[in-house]
């Protein structure tokens, strides 16, 4: 992967951020550990120094300084590499025993650099000074071991740090390039989709990880999108195709009128016909726009609780007379002892049932029986509208919901073929399932709403 791209990749940045965090924690813990060990060592050396001081000063008995001088010389002989320094001075400043030149330090603890008394540069000595009888004894220990410890700690932490950083960058780059490959697949798919290849889908690894889940969601969205685009394409073609006929009729009527007018004949009839045809085209567009408006979902904000057992009887009353005019019988069946609330828009629901009832009246033919039923099934409120007409063949059950689609046998009846499309749009808006069944004989349209309220 290109270094610049690698640096831009989120997983790599995350790996780096974690590495940085880890390094900080590592340095902090190293610093604390080192200081604790250093403190402990210094305390130990201080107590050794004090012990040396006391061992030597205890040899002072009966005001005899000679034992102290001997003890000091013995310890000087035993010390190697100037690890310890000793200085025994008489009250007048004469050096009685020492492995360093004269040195002036206050009583108690002090620190001096080795260079101060002309020995090994680079080490410091922690010194304890005090009186022994009339004389003065100085004992010191150098910090060589703590220095060595410091070097070891710094070196080992340094190496560990290098390994951590190398591992973080290496692992980060590896993880980043893997994640990047999968993100590239997503980008590639989206690029293909934006160039019109709606069937493109993101390949899934089947690991079930977050990227797989995200890809799955995108794929589902793409599937919906392509179905929606496909149905839009279908709808536009259907509309263009179906509107050609009435427009041709209108043009022919106007042409007839033109010819008649050229011959000086009256054209009143043709113009009236043209007006009716233009009116029908206008109605078709109105209905198409209405469906589109319902499908946009804007009406959903005005939804309220509607009791279907209140809405349906008044509709039945209105249409019973119309049915009787067509020599048909209209029944209403309501077998509910409980509430039939649904969440919805009263005007749209009325429009939907009007369309369905008008279909039965129009397509079932004279003498047919029509029955509207309302019942509750589990968590759903069901309605079914059944007629004893010729029905719709099973293989046409989905087609009739398409815009402008009419069965061949209905071409002679008035209508645009948009009634059931509007019904479907309203049912979808209400979250209701709609399906057709064979009522043997006749058609049954069933609607199942999610039950709302108590």
Ligand X SMILES: Nc1ncnc2c1ncn2[C@@H]1O[C@H](COP(=O)(O)OP(=O)(O)OP(=O)(O)O)[C@@H](O)[C@H]1O
**Residues of the shown chain interacting with Mg ion in the complex, contacts defined by CB under 5 A:** 359, 419
Binding partner of 392, given ligand X, Mg ion, none, CB within 5-8 angstroms per partner class: ligand X
CB of 207 to Mg ion, least distance (A): 51
For residues 94 and 123, what is the distance between their CA atoms, to the nearest angstrom? 26
In the bound state with ligand X, the residue whose beta carbon lies nearer, of 294 and 400, is: 400
Binding partner of 429, given Mg ion, ligand X, none, CB within 5-8 angstroms per partner class: none
In the bound state with ligand X, the residue whose beta carbon lies nearer, of 253 and 416, is: 416
In the bound state with Mg ion, the residue whose beta carbon lies nearer, of 143 and 416, is: 416
For residues 109 and 86, what is the distance between their CA atoms, to the nearest angstrom? 14
CB of 410 to Mg ion, least distance (A): 9
In the bound state with Mg ion, the residue whose beta carbon lies nearer, of 146 and 359, is: 359
Q: How many CB atoms lie within 10 A of CB 96?
A: 18
Binding partner of 56, given Mg ion, ligand X, none, CB within 5-8 angstroms per partner class: none
Using Cβ positions, the residue closest to Mg ion within the complex turns out to be 419
Using Cβ positions, the residue closest to ligand X within the complex turns out to be 419
CB of 390 to ligand X, least distance (A): 6
For residues 89 and 102, what is the distance between their CA atoms, to the nearest angstrom? 8
Burial of 340 per CB tally in 10 Å (0-12, 13-18, 19+) = buried
CB of 359 to ligand X, least distance (A): 3
CB of 360 to Mg ion, least distance (A): 9
In the bound state with Mg ion, the residue whose beta carbon lies nearer, of 114 and 419, is: 419
CB of 254 to ligand X, least distance (A): 25
In the bound state with ligand X, the residue whose beta carbon lies nearer, of 374 and 420, is: 420
In the bound state with Mg ion, the residue whose beta carbon lies nearer, of 406 and 451, is: 406
Q: How far is CA 251 from each of CA 153, 224, 241, rounded to the nearest angstrom?
A: 98, 40, 16
- Binding residues for ligand X, rule: CB under 6 A, are 355, 359-360, 363-364, 387, 389-392, 400, 406-407, 410, 415-421, 443
CB of 399 to ligand X, least distance (A): 8
CB of 185 to ligand X, least distance (A): 44
Binding partner of 172, given Mg ion, ligand X, none, CB within 5-8 angstroms per partner class: none
**Taking phi first (over 0 means left), then psi (-120 to 50 degrees means alpha), and beta for anything else, what does residue 198 get?**
alpha
In the bound state with ligand X, the residue whose beta carbon lies nearer, of 297 and 441, is: 441
In the bound state with Mg ion, the residue whose beta carbon lies nearer, of 309 and 410, is: 410
Binding partner of 291, given Mg ion, ligand X, none, CB within 5-8 angstroms per partner class: none
In the bound state with ligand X, the residue whose beta carbon lies nearer, of 87 and 418, is: 418
Is residue 99 within 8 Å of residue 78, measured between CB atoms? Answer: no
Binding partner of 340, given ligand X, Mg ion, none, CB within 5-8 angstroms per partner class: none
State the SS3 of the chain: CCHHHHHHCHHHHHHHHHHHHHHHHHHHHHHHHHHHHHHHHHHHHHHHHHHHHHHHHCCCECCEHHHHHHHHHHHHHHCCCCCEEEEEECCCCCEEEECCCCCCCCCEEEEEEHHHHCCCCCCEEEEEEEEECCEEEEEEEECHHHHHHHHHHHHHHHHHHHHHHHHHHHHHHHHHHHHHHHHHHHHHHHHHHHCCCCCCCCCCCCCCCHHHHHHHHHHHHHHHHHHHHHHHHHHHHHHHHHHHHHHHHHHHHHHHHHHHHHCCCCCHHHHHHHHHHHHHHHHHHHHHHHHHHHHCCHHHHHCEEEEHHHHHHHHHHHHHHHHHHCCCEEEEEECCCCCCEEEECHHHHHHHHHHHHHHHHHHCCCCCEEEEEEEEECCEEEEEEEECCCCCCHHHCCHHHCCCCCCHHHCCCCCCCCHHHHHHHHHHHCCCEEEEEECCCCEEEEEEEECCCC
CB of 400 to Mg ion, least distance (A): 9
In the bound state with Mg ion, the residue whose beta carbon lies nearer, of 177 and 354, is: 354
């Amino acid at each position: 992967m290109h270094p610049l791209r690698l640096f831009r990749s989120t997983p790599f940045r995350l790996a780096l951020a974690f590495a940085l965090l880890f390094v900080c924690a590592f340095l902090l813990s190293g610093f604390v550990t080192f200081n604790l060990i250093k403190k402990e060592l210094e305390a130990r050396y201080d107590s050794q120094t004090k012990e040396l001081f006391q061992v030597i000063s205890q040899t002072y008995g009966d005001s005899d300084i000679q034992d102290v001088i001997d003890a000091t010389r013995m310890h000087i002989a035993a010390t190697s590499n100037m690890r310890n320094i000793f200085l025994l001075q008489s009250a007048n400043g004469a050096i009685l025993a020492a492995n360093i030149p004269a040195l002036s330090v206050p009583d108690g603890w002090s620190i001096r650099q080795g260079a101060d008394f002309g020995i090994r540069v680079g080490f410091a000595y922690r010194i304890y000074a005090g009186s022994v009888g009339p004389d003065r004894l100085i004992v010191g220990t150098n910090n060589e071991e703590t220095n060595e410890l410091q070097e070891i700690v710094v070196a080992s932490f340094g190496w560990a740090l290098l390994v951590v950083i190398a591992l973080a960058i290496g692992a980060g780059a590896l993880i980043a390039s893997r994640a990047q490959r999968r993100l590239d697949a997503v980008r590639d798919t989206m690029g293909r989709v934006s160039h019109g290849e709606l069937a493109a889908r993101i390949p899934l690894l089947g690991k079930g990880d977050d990227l797989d889940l995200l890809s799955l969601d995108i794929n589902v969205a793409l599937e919906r999108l392509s179905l929606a685009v496909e149905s839009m394409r279908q709808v536009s073609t259907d509309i263009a195709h179906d509107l050609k006929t009435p427009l041709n009729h209108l043009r022919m009527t106007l042409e007839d009128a033109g010819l008649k007018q050229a011959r000086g004949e009256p054209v009143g009839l043709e113009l009236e016909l043209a007006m009716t045809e233009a009116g029908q085209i206008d109605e078709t567009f109105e209905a198409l726009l209405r469906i589109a408006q319902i499908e946009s979902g804007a009406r959903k904000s005005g939804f309220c609780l509607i009791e279907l057992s209140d809405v349906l009887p008044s509709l039945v009353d209105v249409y019973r007379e119309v049915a009787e005019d067509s020599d048909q019988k209209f029944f209403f069946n309501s077998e509910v002892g409980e509430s039939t609330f649904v969440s919805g828009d009263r005007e749209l629901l009325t429009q939907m049932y009007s369309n369905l009832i008008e279909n039965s009246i129009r397509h079932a033919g004279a003498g047919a029986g029509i029955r509207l039923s309302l019942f509750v099934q589990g968590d759903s409120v069901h309605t079914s509208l059944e007629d004893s007409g010729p029905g719709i063949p099973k293989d046409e059950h989905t087609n009739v919901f398409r815009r402008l689609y009419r069965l061949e046998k209905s071409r002679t009846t008035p209508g645009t073929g948009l009634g059931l499309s509007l019904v479907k749009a309203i049912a979808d808006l209400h979250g209701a399932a709609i399906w057709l069944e064979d009522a043997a004989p006749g058609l049954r349209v069933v609607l199942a709403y999610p039950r709302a309220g108590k």
